[in-house]
Amino acid sequence: HAAPLTDADRALVDGVLARRLRPLAKTITLIESQREDHKARARQVLEALLPHTGGAMRVGISGVPGVGKSTFIEALGLYLIGQGMRVAVLAVDPSSSLTGGSILGDKTRMELLSQNPAAFIRPSPSAGSLGGVAEKTRETMLVCEAAGFDVIIVETVGVGQSETAVAGMTDIFCLLQLPNAGDDLQAIKKGIMELADLIVVNKADIDPMAATRAQAQMKTALHMLRPASPNWTVPVLTLSALQKQGIADFWKEVAGYRAALVKSGEFDAKRRHQALAWMWDLIDAGLRSRFRGHPRVKDELPSLARAVEAGATTPAAAAQRLLGHLG
């Protein structure tokens, strides 16, 4: 069904599989492009890479600005590289397209990691909607897997639904928290704690007692939530990213999580479910854009919208009429 790859795209695929960084970066640029011809090429390149994906541990990291995500990811990345692994760090930051600057884009703080040849750091694509950013990050993740990275870290900051998007593309979603009371309640209110497979109280070096208190509070809070997995009890760890303390324990928990879910079959089931959910996301987005681009919809939408606002027609009747144009 797919046309054969052009020589240029075959070279990209071969370069990625040979774990070379330039073809990797070029492929990601192709994926992030808004041009229709680039999108078509990107789809073909991804199809060719797909059989070589799936081998990495996909780790989502979230937390408010200032909690220590960069510091933690640098410490974790260097630790994993020390264990012989290769690490890719990606980001989902839909705010970058709104503000022009990215909250997560400034990676100068991951200085050591970014200079390490076993690491690959890519800032968030600035492609408009959260859906667009998330889709491109998912595809970039697959390309990094084909390029043999052992761990893919996907970082996000707590804006809107970005945590849900990252939890939906990773194997384990980790929430970084500050060691002060009330912080945990914020996360519960926003429904983020429910997404977490692992909770980390960072900056435990500042006030170890406060960190232990926060840890106990969060454990209590977790008891009030319905567990996401029957095979896993969400642990709450305290650590210091700055002093690189607790990093090995963190990774031990990640490995334990993976082992528990692999054993029960939930690990593969989760990935299958994520792939299907991704397909439906793309179908929804495709239908929406086809609908909005349809000439008759474009013609009639403004007047029908006014009629709905004025109470001259029902929302249901207007929706029915517009959807009818899709045939």
One DSSP character per residue, 113-163 reads HHH-TTEEE-PPP--SSHHHHHHHHHHHHHHHHHTT-SEEEEEEESSTTHH
Cβ–Cβ < 8 Å for 205, 75: no
Residue 326 CA to residue 56 CA, distance in Å, equals 40
Smallest gap from residue 193 Cβ to ligand GDP (A): 17
Residue 281 CA to residue 134 CA, distance in Å, equals 10
Helix (H, G, I), strand (E, B) or coil at 88: strand
Nearer Cβ to ligand GDP, position 70 or 124?
70
Nearer Cβ to ligand GDP, position 39 or 109?
109
Nearest 5°: the CA angle 235, 186, 203 is 55
Residue 152 half-sphere exposure, CB side, CA atoms within 13 Å? Answer: 28
Smallest gap from residue 219 Cβ to ligand GDP (A): 20
List residues binding ligand GDP (CB under 6 A): 63, 65-71, 109, 202-203, 205-206, 240-242
| C-beta neighbour count of 103 within 10 angstroms | 17
Smallest gap from residue 169 Cβ to ligand GDP (A): 20
Residue 1 CA to residue 135 CA, distance in Å, equals 23
Smallest gap from residue 176 Cβ to ligand GDP (A): 7
Smallest gap from residue 217 Cβ to ligand GDP (A): 19
Smallest gap from residue 73 Cβ to ligand GDP (A): 8
**How much of the chain is in helix, strand and coil states, percent to nearest 5?**
55, 10, 30
Nearer Cβ to ligand GDP, position 68 or 125?
68
First to last CA, the chain: 25
Smallest gap from residue 242 Cβ to ligand GDP (A): 3
Nearer Cβ to ligand GDP, position 182 or 302?
182
Residue 166 CA to residue 92 CA, distance in Å, equals 7
Nearer Cβ to ligand GDP, position 44 or 156?
156
| Cβ-based burial of 264 (10 A; exposed 0-12, middle 13-18, buried ≥19) | middle
Smallest gap from residue 237 Cβ to ligand GDP (A): 12
Nearer Cβ to ligand GDP, position 142 or 187?
187
Residue 155 CA to residue 160 CA, distance in Å, equals 14
According to DSSP, residue 175 is labeled: E
Smallest gap from residue 192 Cβ to ligand GDP (A): 15
Greatest CA separation for the chain: 68
Nearer Cβ to ligand GDP, position 63 or 235?
63
Nearer Cβ to ligand GDP, position 186 or 229?
186
Nearer Cβ to ligand GDP, position 44 or 62?
62
Taking CB positions, which residue lies at the least distance from ligand GDP? Answer: 68
